[in-house]
């Protein structure tokens, strides 16, 4: 579950504390070009107020009508489908032949939304198991897989950060990366043992480590849901981090610096640490998509854009310059 859907859960908790009846809808399967992926949620209040979305169209309108009629927020969860045939798909704003399957769940104390939010606030990853026949919910520590699963008797969903970003260096650009990465569902850990940088670093929601980078990465047991980016320009810190990260299952490893600096880095790692050239080929450096960025927030956008592409299995080729759109003279954009 991403941060957008966690906001829906927080809204559900607020509505319930206000004494309103609420139904929570979770997408369990889609066919065709569905606007929202499986696991996405929508909440409908008894007066028709909506938080979140599942289709961006008429499905929400149908749920609103049913909520106002009082037929959703009672009883036990149920599985519903929208758009089974072409006519229904068109009526509910889906591509021809598309289908969205939902579990609609009346929100009651047994739903345990408040407890789930408390665990998420502590940074935990939680597996939520809903028994459809009774509406009872079990909250368990998340395991190795985070796939949604609907059986004849239960709906299992996973909540909390699925992705982890480790940033080596607590400089100015790190501040922007932290803010943007958290919006993209990353747990962010910043590592910098240097007093002059770490002492003044303050980014809400990020964990700051004063360990040496290689020690931190070894302790974290880097997995395939982790990205590591070296940002210090200090070989004593960046090289040790990259040595550990490039030999781990991390899905993305990047380092700031020019192509010339990357070549020097490769030579150091191969000559002094015995790294193989094939291991170094995993490094994204210079880090980020090449988008003409000049400022720290622009560079951060390029880094997270490349991170997103790699995460979803896309390779974006080098851009082709089309000529200056803006001209720079005497330090001013004209």
Domain that holds residue 60: 3-159
The confidence score (pLDDT) of residue 150 equals 93
322 located within any domain? no
212 located within any domain? yes
Residues 60 and 180 placed together within one structural domain of the fold:
no
- What H or E segment, with its residue span, contains residue 284? strand 283-284
Interval 163-217: pLDDT, tens: 899 999 998 899 999 999 988 878 899 999 999 888 888 888 889 999 999 999 9
Does 221 have pLDDT greater than 50?
Answer: yes
Top pLDDT among 60 and 12 is at 12
Residues 22 and 122 placed together within one structural domain of the fold:
yes
320 located within any domain? no
Does 109 have pLDDT greater than 70?
Answer: yes
The confidence score (pLDDT) of residue 22 equals 94
Does 128 have pLDDT greater than 90?
Answer: yes
Residues 39 and 145 placed together within one structural domain of the fold:
yes
Give the residue from 184, 171, 286 showing the smallest Cα distance to 225.
184
Residues 216 and 282 placed together within one structural domain of the fold:
yes
Buried b (16+ CB within 10 A) or exposed e, 37-57: ebbbbbbbbbeeebbbbbbee
- Tell me the pLDDT of the chain averaged across its residues: 85
Average the pLDDT over 233-258 and give the result: 92
Does 330 have pLDDT greater than 50?
Answer: no
Least confident of 15-19, 35-39, 50-54, 68-72: 35-39
Residues 177 and 155 placed together within one structural domain of the fold:
no
Average the pLDDT over 236-256 and give the result: 92
What residues have CB less than 8 Å from 3, skipping those under 6 apart? Answer: 182, 183, 184, 185
Residues 303 and 239 placed together within one structural domain of the fold:
yes
The confidence score (pLDDT) of residue 304 equals 96
Least confident of 24-38, 86-100, 170-184, 197-211: 86-100
Does 331 have pLDDT greater than 50?
Answer: no
Average the pLDDT over 106-132 and give the result: 91
Band (32; pLDDT cuts 50, 70, 90): low
Average the pLDDT over 52-74 and give the result: 79
Residues 134 and 211 placed together within one structural domain of the fold:
no
The confidence score (pLDDT) of residue 34 equals 56
Average the pLDDT over 227-238 and give the result: 93
Band (312; pLDDT cuts 50, 70, 90): confident
Residues 185 and 153 placed together within one structural domain of the fold:
no
296 located within any domain? yes
Residues 154 and 167 placed together within one structural domain of the fold:
no
The confidence score (pLDDT) of residue 1 equals 52
Residues 150 and 137 placed together within one structural domain of the fold:
yes
329 located within any domain? no
Q: How many domains is the chain partitioned into structurally? A: 2
Interval 67-79: pLDDT, tens: 888 777 778 999 9
Q: What is the dihedral of CA 138, 139, 144, 150, to 10 degrees?
A: 40
Residues 87 and 171 placed together within one structural domain of the fold:
no
Residues 7 and 154 placed together within one structural domain of the fold:
yes
Average the pLDDT over 236-265 and give the result: 92
The confidence score (pLDDT) of residue 146 equals 66
Q: CATH number for the domain including 196?
A: 3.40.50.720
107 located within any domain? yes
318 located within any domain? no
User: What does the alpha-carbon distance between residue 83 and residue 85 come to, in Å, rounded to a whole number?
Assistant: 5
* 103, β-bridge pairs: 26, 79
- CB-based contact 101:79 (threshold 8 Å): yes
């Amino acid at each position: 579950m991403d941060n957008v859907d966690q906001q829906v859960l927080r809204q559900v908790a607020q509505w319930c504390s206000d004494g309103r009846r609420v139904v929570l809808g979770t997408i369990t399967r889609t066919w065709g070009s569905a606007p929202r992926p499986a696991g996405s949620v929508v909440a409908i209040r008894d007066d028709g107020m909506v938080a979140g979305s599942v289709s961006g169209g008429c499905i929400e309108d149908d749920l609103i009508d049913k909520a106002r009629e009082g037929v959703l927020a009672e009883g036990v969860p149920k599985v519903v489908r929208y758009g089974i045939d072409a006519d229904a798909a068109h009526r509910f704003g889906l591509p021809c032949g598309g289908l969205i399957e939902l579990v609609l769940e009346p929100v009651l104390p047994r739903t345990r939304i408040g407890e789930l939010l408390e665990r998420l606030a502590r940074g935990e990853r939680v597996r939520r198991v809903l028994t459809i026949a009774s509406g009872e919910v079990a909250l368990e520590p998340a395991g190795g897989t985070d796939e949604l699963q609907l059986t004849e008797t239960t709906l299992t969903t996973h909540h909390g950060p699925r992705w982890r970003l480790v940033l080596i260096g607590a400089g100015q650009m790190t501040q922007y990366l932290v803010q943007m990465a958290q919006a993209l569902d990353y747990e962010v850990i910043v590592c910098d043992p240097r007093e002059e940088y770490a002492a003044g670093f303050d980014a809400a929601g990020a964990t700051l480590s004063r360990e040496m980078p290689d020690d931190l990465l070894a302790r974290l047991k880097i997995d395939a849901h982790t990205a590591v980016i070296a940002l210090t320009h200090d070989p004593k810190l960046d090289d040790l981090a990259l040595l550990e990260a490039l030999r781990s299952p991390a899905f993305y490893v990047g380092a700031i610096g020019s192509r010339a600096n990357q070549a020097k880095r490769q030579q150091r790692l191969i000559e002094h640490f015995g790294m193989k050239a094939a291991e170094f080929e995993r490094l994204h450096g210079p880090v980020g998509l090449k988008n003409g960025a000049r400022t720290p927030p622009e560079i951060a956008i390029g880094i997270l854009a490349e991170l997103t592409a790699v995460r979803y299995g896309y390779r974006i080729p080098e851009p082709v310059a089309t000529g200056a759109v803006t001209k720079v003279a005497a330090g001013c954009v004209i």
